[in-house]
Chains A and B, each alone.
Chain A
Amino acid sequence: NAVMVLGNDVWLPAASELEVPELNITTMPLLAAAHQLGRFCDNQCKEFMLCHQETLKDPRKCLAEGKAVTECGLEFFRQIKRHCALPFERYLNCFEKRSTSYNRPAYCRREQGPFDDCVRQHLGQERPPPGYFSKIRLHDSQRPRHPVPPAPMPQRIEERDLDSVTEPPGTPDPLFAFNSRDTSEEGQRRAREWLRLDKERTTSRNFVPPADDSSE
């Protein structure tokens, strides 16, 4: 019953195209630096999410934007490591240790201050105001819009007189196929034979109904 939907006519990118330098960090640094990271990589993130939305969540169509997003994230963490390693480490420790409480950033304000100052000094960006990511943000993109695949009208089905349709000869009646309560050998044989033929009929592609003179 394993269902694979992707045939050879569906285009998948080559494996080499998917090998990019990844952002090798765990959840905690990503979430701790999320506000500043979101502002640093705002344009790339918006482009990527716009592409994701326009292509109806097609993963193949937004690879370039995704790579740009990861690259920007790497650049951010490189700069943090170069200039702001200690304040970020202190903030990250607080973040990790307070992971059990629900509202984490609110309990780490003392460490957040120096980290924000350092980022403002070296990266030149302010922390985004509260509510910045919750609101809908508009993005003006220079690239043309991804084309929506056309939806052709389905072909019209001819009208047929279905009363004149007959089943091919040899098709057994599904209601009275066999009597399962018939414990005689003939009845059991007939039941087994019917079940075998039914299985073949439903699973095999090249089933040819046996030419029997008496229909059961």
Chain B
Amino acid sequence: MDSHPGGFKQEMPPKGGFKPIDFVRKQIKRPWRGHLLIAGTYLWTYAGITLWITPQRQRYYYQKQEAQEVRIAAWPFVLAERNRLYLKHLIKLRDAESELMKDVPDWKVGHWFSTPIFHNPRGLWIDPLLYGFYALNSKKDYKYRRFFHHYFV
């Protein structure tokens, strides 16, 4: 062609010269989403703990406390009645023992031949042992009470 001598276009640098070569090592551009995901996980966990599970557990705790309070409130009534029944049975036991051992010489009721069972200088109340308390019941009744904790808590 007439404008290009020799018939080809010579490749020349651009106008103003080449730009300076950037030889500094650069990091690859990574997307920043991962940090957001991790932060989001932490935030969601914190929100769940403070807003959901903590009040849920507190509610359950208060419900359990309420169920226990029901028994605490009813206990005096049960105890009063139980004490009266207990004393009635003790009277029956003592009368039965007097009746049974009235012909035995040197036998004092509640003692072993004039020896007291317990040393009680203060005069405190001592409950009789289970075996004596069930003296008028069958052995089956005694065993049921003696090993109650094997079947019931």
Contacts and interface: CB of A to CB of B under 8 A. Distances in A.
Interface string A52-66: 100111111011011
Contacts of B60: 103
B110 A52 contact: no
B109 A131 contact: no
A69 B72 contact: no
Contacts of B111: 7
B69 A70 contact: no
B69 A132 contact: yes
B64 interface: yes
B1 interface: no
Interface string B64-90: 111111111110111111011011101
A73 B73 CA distance: 12
A12 B129 contact: no
Most buried by A among B90, B126, B127: B90
B135 interface: yes
A49 interface: yes
Nearest to B70: A34
Nearest to B117: A5
Contact of B110 (A1, A7, A49, A205): A7
B123 interface: yes
B41 interface: no
Contact of A105 (B66, B77, B81): B66
Interface of A: 1-10, 12-13, 15, 18, 20, 22-23, 30-31, 34-35, 37-38, 41, 44-45, 48-49, 52, 55-60, 62-63, 65-67, 69-70, 73, 102-106, 130-134, 149-152, 154, 205
14 contacts: A3-B129, A5-B132, A6-B109, A18-B88, A34-B70, A37-B74, A37-B77, A38-B73, A44-B76, A52-B79, A102-B64, A102-B67, A130-B69, A131-B69
